[in-house]
Structure 1
Amino acid sequence: MFKKEDCFFVGSFVKTHGVKGELVAKKSSDLLEKYKLESVLVDIDGGLVPFFITPNGLTPRNHASVRILLEDMDSEAKATRFIGCEIYVPFKDAPDFFEDKEDFEATALIGFTYIDQERGVIGTIEDIQDYSGNIVLVLELNGQEVLIPFSDEHFIEIDEENKSITMKTSEGLIDLYLED
């Protein structure tokens, strides 16, 4: 059985396309296109269910979305049930994803634990924001949204197995969020 902890979050289905069962997925990374995957895991009621992608069933739409046709998905009615479902890919299907720094996509870190070199575990990365090429990790700390810039100079380590990233957070940044 597949667990979310052992997978990359790659996007979610947002609408149908046409009447033959094709779905549009808002993607969080280019992982689907990069690895030309034959299958994906779809979160259905909290469980990850594998689905095969038909040959030529993955079509880029634009920089933020792709069209996907899953096997045995042959009608708009069947596809409609998948709207809102999240899509995952097992780590084993993209083993070198974090190794290629040129193609590294920070969005793959969603769901990873953020560890500060000095303070230890800060929280879970809930979102990634891109402000004109400046990547910002979004965490929650004590019920408050925390924004931490992601840069090579502060990066220390990514642990794929434990889904964690260790960084040296800029001095005083975490303290800003802890003050009342």
Structure 2
Amino acid sequence: MRKEECFYLGKIAKKFSFKGEVLAYLDTDEPEMYEELESVFVEFNNNLVPFFIESCSLHKNDFLRIRFEDVASEEEADKLLGCALYLPLSALPKLEGNKFYFHEVIGFDVEDTRLGIIGKIVSINDSTAQPLFEIEHNGIEILVPMIDDFIVAIDRANKKVVLNTPEGLVDLYLNN
């Protein structure tokens, strides 16, 4: 499986027991959704390798305690530390309404209720405290905070995000 066909689930943070169990930190608001996993892809040298799960359970709300098949010692678990975990995009639960996955809106047109179509989403910058839509408009990059109050609608059928931005925010980029 290719990484482009998957989503980042989290990473193996530490060993849990001398029997090869590990704790994985999950990059999700709902880690309990992943307690029933049967397998996961582990990234080794930029390759995704399938690992089958013998058992897993939630640990201290943020971590998933995992016992992989064929990993039965601390030495074998050591090799997994720091490795990223991935699942196929098809494993993501479908979101509705104004909830969306970041990867889902890449390429969507952006319509501002006041200004009309202002560009296309080329990326989501989530390295800041507040994630930002990165919108391309005739070679200009427009950054708009992903704030619920700004998001009017996610129109999946027409591949469009409708925003209601405060006056001046987008204008700042367009008037230069």
Does TM, scored on the shorter chain, surpass 0.5?
yes
Deviation string, structure 1 residues 43-79 (Cα, Å, up to 9, x no partner): 111111111000xx11101232111111101111111
3-state SS in 2 of match to 1:78: helix
Percentage of matched positions with identical amino acids = 28
Match of 1:109 in 2: 102
Assess, with a 3 A threshold, how the Cα gap between structure 1 residues 124 and 21 changes in structure 2: closer, same or farther.
Answer: farther
**Which residue of the partner structure matches residue 71 of structure 2?**
73
Q: Distance in 2 between matches of 1:175 and 1:81?
A: 51
Could you tell me how far apart the structure 2 residues matched to 1:83 and 1:22 are?
Answer: 11
The RMSD of aligned alpha carbons is 3.7
CA distance in 1: counterparts of 2:73 and 2:160, whole angstroms: 45
What is the CA–CA distance in structure 1 between the aligned matches of 2:86 and 2:8, rounded to whole Å?
Answer: 5
Unaligned runs of 5+ in 2: 112-116
Query: Which of structures 1 and 2 has the bigger CA Rg?
Result: 2
Query: How has the CA–CA distance of structure 1 residues 14 and 37 changed in structure 2, closer, same or farther, with 3 Å as cutoff?
Result: same
Determine the structure 2 residue equivalent to 1:137: 131
Change (3 A) 1:35 1:7: farther
Pick one of 161, 164, 171 that aligns with 1:167. 161
Q: Any conservation in 2 of the 1:7–1:88 contact (CA below 8 Å)?
A: yes
User: Tell me, what secondary structure is at the counterpart of 1:119?
Assistant: strand
- Cα pair 1:26 1:65 within 8 Å, conserved: yes
Partners of 1:144 and 1:75 lie apart in 2 by 50
Per-residue CA distance 1:90-140 (angstroms, 9 max, x = gap):
12334xx12467xx6x6x53686264333333333353889xxxxx53466
Aligned to 1:27: 26
Q: Aligned residue for 1:98?
A: 94
Distance 1:74 1:26 in 2: 20
Q: Match for residue 44 of structure 2?
A: 44
Q: 1:119 to 1:43 in 2, by over 3 A?
A: farther
Q: For 2:96 and 2:22, locate their aligned partners in 1 and report how far apart those are by CA, in whole Å.
A: 29
Larger deviation, residues 141-150 vs 29-38: 141-150
**Cα distance change of structure 1 residues 61 and 46 upon mapping to structure 2, 3 Å threshold:** same
The Cα of 1:40 is off from its aligned counterpart by 0.5
Instruction: Go from structure 1 to structure 2 and tell me whether the alpha carbon gap of 1:36 and 1:144 turns closer, same or farther (over 3 Å shift).
Output: same
Q: Separation in 2 of the partners of 1:72 and 1:41?
A: 14
Distance 1:151 1:137, change over 3 A: farther
Contact persistence 1:110–1:128 (CA under 8 A): no
TM-score (norm 1): 0.67
Q: 1:92 to 1:174 in 2, by over 3 A?
A: same
